[in-house]
Structure 1
Amino acid sequence: MNRKLRMGMIGGGNDAFIGAIHRHAAFIDGKIELVCGALSINKDIALESGRSLFLPADRTYTTFEEMLEKESTLPAEVRMDFVTIVTPNFAHFAPAMMALEKGFHVVIEKPITLNLDQALALDKKVKETGLILCLTHTYTGYPMVKEAKEMIKKGALGKVRKVYVEYKQGWLSRLTEREGNAQAAWRTDPSKSGKSGVMGDIGTHAFNLSEYISGLQVSELCASLNTVVDGRALDDDGAVLLRFNNGATGVLMATQIAAGEENNLSIRIYGEKGGIEWHQQEPNSLVVKWLDKPAETYRAGSGYLSAIAKQNQRTPGGHPEGYLEAFANLYRNFSATLAARLDGGSVNTDIVEFPSVTEGIRGMAFIDNVVNSHLSTDKWVTYSIG
């Protein structure tokens, strides 16, 4: 293409948590520009946010309905190409569905919707329209996560036998939702977050990473959820035993009451010949442990990495890259796919890939199955969608 892709944004105003991260990530490669936004449900914040981002007054909207309706009537050479939705969980479905109905491609925060039925409805609409939907499971964007996935895909570790994934945070160790913390308030409110707190917020990331890297799918699970902080309306801690569709087993742990932890996401996967270990807080290293030789540490930016890892690395070896760059990789791969589509072409999906509505459905089904298992008198429940 001989121009930048035009992005609209729903949510992400001056008072938002993740909106600026999305904009930084989208702009890193110089392929995307922000042309319009409905940046807050608060009219004053929406208008001020638009001014601070230098959006035209006539393309700074106060509702997503107004934005999608008016943008759809603009000439093709002016209107946005896609919309990024960075609202809380309960406000994902309606704008995403309307965007697809109006012919716009979609980037959307995870979890994809408030419940599984909404996710399935979005999937149906995506298939009807043929439009592209990118789900921002950020951790799949790290180059060393890509390297781990490729090693397992090519059989370097042999058949996968065991998966351990942990996501530990400590920021909800107190009842911060009643101390003026807006992020805590909606994340612990079932009407806004959904039927699970910790598993919906960060457990879905751990689940997604376990399936993404291993190339497997969870077929059964056994879950226990806890609400540790008195007065909290949703779970803030939990653990899940996993069985995968190749016979492998695993353990998933997610907690937001591990005092002192920041954003400690870690995964270990073991096969017949060896295992891999990756930590989000040290993302440029992938430890590979072998059954019959010394362990190795693979490093981002190195020439010996696979094509998919190289596609998603941005700096020379020894120059750290992290969360923003991983996030940007999702936008780069999405924008390359969209630009090729608009030009009548295609991309190599073996190396230019990103999470889609499929991962969104599996994430919502994971939440349902975890809650059902926790409430059930049965030890194990068969993983199901719908």
Structure 2
Amino acid sequence: MSKKIRLGILGGGGDSLIGVLHRIASSMYDSYQLVGGVFNPNYDDNIGFAEQIGIPTNRIYKDFDVFIEEELKLPEDERIQVVSILTPNFLHFPMAKKLLESGFNVICEKPMTTTFEEAQVLQETLEKANTIFAVTYTYTGYPMVRQMKEMISTGVIGKVQKIDVQYYQGWINPIIHDKEKRASTWRLDPEKSGISCCVGDIGTHGFDMIEYVTGMEVKTILADLNYLYADNKMDIDGTILLRFAENVKGVLRTSQIATGEENNFTVKIYGDKGGLKWEQENPNYLHHLTEDEPLKVLKPGHAYNSAFSLDGTKLPPGHPEGIFDSMGNIYKGVAKAIRKEKYHPGEFPTMKDGVRGMNFIERAVASHQQGNVWVEVK
């Protein structure tokens, strides 16, 4: 059996949801061993958290620069091989760039950077580094999303002609109406989040999902965003019209002020022979619609699913798989790539997905600011 891949994590300490998600996901297929990192900006909290989760403290570093310096002193067969970046958005680019320049593989939370220009620089850095880079558009790891992708690519629903994606949350509703709270939340601070909140945080998930499952690229978009208050600099709601090649059109609706909504991410793809619908809050059901047969509901783990879907299924039919499993499948794909094993090109989102995501965010904001006009996504 091959040795486990040595994993380091930046951020994700304390009660961070994303930190728990990544740690559990990395442990799922017994491919990684968490050996060190910088979980918290405060060193005492950093050490305390490492002790809490049972990680030896000899490779828990004071800060990111010390992390790089000390790890590079170690022999290559002891050095951390891949680093997960779970910090606030504004730290993604400088950390990822230095990690790539230092020869590390990287798993980065989205949005990958805070600007499209930074994303392009990162792409050039990766080309020189020749390492592995993954962006955690988590939902691409769900078995039934992968089944949707395979069914579309093999023509089960025919030629795609209509796309409708919705991502609704309500978590920012109690914050946005309080002037003090909206001024002190990092998600609404352009210095820490970039130029967009809602589109940058969850709209980019929808954009990536559309291109992932259809295999098509969005060509132009028209965005109408909502900031709700004049002193709020970040969008918290928006509707974006999409145009693809060959007259295929779609819509992406995204909101963080959809009062009472939890994580309502719904994907609907319609072809000339049928349609497919998937909901993140009920991720084990893929609905297949046609005009001449009753509705079909596909579930994970059955032999009728594609090999790609089954490879990401850990449990027998009837045992629900969720977001931890989805992220675990992304980590599994990255492990295959690091070990130079054969893997499906859709097993984890790559630098290209991160770059297009940043371009989409900036073009959506530009479309809105220019008076809700059509703009090109390069």
TM-score (normalised: structure 1): 0.94
Q: Which residue of 1 aligns with 2:342?
A: 347
Q: Which residue of 2 aligns with 1:300?
A: 300
Classify 1:233/1:280 alpha carbon distance in 2 versus 1 (closer, same or farther; 3 Å).
same
Distance in 2 (alpha carbons) for counterparts of 1:328 and 1:133: 16
User: Secondary structure of 1:199's partner?
Assistant: helix
Distance in 2 (alpha carbons) for counterparts of 1:155 and 1:180: 52
Q: Which residue of 2 aligns with 1:269?
A: 269
Q: Which residue of 2 aligns with 1:165?
A: 165
**Of 359, 363, 367, the match for 1:373:** 367
Distance in 1 (alpha carbons) for counterparts of 2:174 and 2:30: 41
Classify 1:323/1:181 alpha carbon distance in 2 versus 1 (closer, same or farther; 3 Å).
farther
User: Secondary structure of 2:284's partner?
Assistant: strand
Q: Which residue of 2 aligns with 1:210?
A: 210
Q: For the Cα contact (< 8 Å) 1:228–1:257, is it kept in 2? A: no
List per-residue Cα deviations over 1:108-153 (Å, max 9, x = no partner).
0001011111111111111111100011000000000001111110
Q: For the Cα contact (< 8 Å) 2:12–2:19, is it kept in 1? A: yes
Q: Which residue of 1 aligns with 2:9?
A: 9
Identical aligned residues as a percent:
40
Classify 1:82/1:119 alpha carbon distance in 2 versus 1 (closer, same or farther; 3 Å).
same
Where does structure 2 lack aligned partners over 5 or more consecutive residues?
A: none
User: Secondary structure of 2:219's partner?
Assistant: strand
User: Secondary structure of 1:174's partner?
Assistant: helix
Q: For the Cα contact (< 8 Å) 1:147–1:309, is it kept in 2? A: yes
Whether 2:364 is the aligned partner of 1:361: answer no
Classify 1:298/1:180 alpha carbon distance in 2 versus 1 (closer, same or farther; 3 Å).
farther
Ranges of 4+ aligned residues in structure 1 off by more than 4 Å? 176-182
What is the CA-CA distance between 1:179 and the residue it aligns to?
Answer: 9.4
Alignment coverage as a number of residue pairs: 378
Distance in 2 (alpha carbons) for counterparts of 1:180 and 1:75: 50
Q: For the Cα contact (< 8 Å) 2:175–2:181, is it kept in 1? A: no
Distance in 1 (alpha carbons) for counterparts of 2:133 and 2:32: 16
List per-residue Cα deviations over 1:8-61 (Å, max 9, x = no partner).
111111143311110011011111111111112222222211222333333111
Distance in 2 (alpha carbons) for counterparts of 1:180 and 1:93: 29
Q: For the Cα contact (< 8 Å) 2:199–2:361, is it kept in 1? A: yes
TM-score (normalised: structure 2): 0.96
Whether 2:369 is the aligned partner of 1:382: answer no
Letter in 2 for 1:3: K
Letter in 2 for 1:358: K
User: Secondary structure of 1:92's partner?
Assistant: helix
Whether 2:195 is the aligned partner of 1:201: answer no
Letter in 2 for 1:354: F
Q: Which residue of 2 aligns with 1:243?
A: 243
Q: Which residue of 1 aligns with 2:192?
A: 192
What is the CA-CA distance between 1:246 and the residue it aligns to?
Answer: 3.5
What is the CA-CA distance between 1:291 and the residue it aligns to?
Answer: 2.5
Distance in 1 (alpha carbons) for counterparts of 2:282 and 2:358: 28
User: Secondary structure of 1:250's partner?
Assistant: strand
Whether 2:40 is the aligned partner of 1:46: answer no
Q: For the Cα contact (< 8 Å) 1:173–1:229, is it kept in 2? A: no
Q: Which residue of 1 aligns with 2:259?
A: 259
Q: Which residue of 2 aligns with 1:143?
A: 143
List per-residue Cα deviations over 1:264-309 (Å, max 9, x = no partner).
0001010110110000000001000013222211111111101110
Q: For the Cα contact (< 8 Å) 1:15–1:45, is it kept in 2? A: no
Q: For the Cα contact (< 8 Å) 2:100–2:129, is it kept in 1? A: yes
Letter in 1 for 2:95: P
Q: For the Cα contact (< 8 Å) 1:178–1:185, is it kept in 2? A: no
List per-residue Cα deviations over 1:151-204 (Å, max 9, x = no partner).
11011111110000000000111226969989x811111111110110000000
TM alignment of 1:3-42, pairs within 5 A: 3-42=3-42
Root-mean-square deviation over aligned CA pairs: 1.9
Letter in 1 for 2:48: E
Distance in 2 (alpha carbons) for counterparts of 1:230 and 1:42: 35
Where does structure 1 lack aligned partners over 5 or more consecutive residues?
A: none
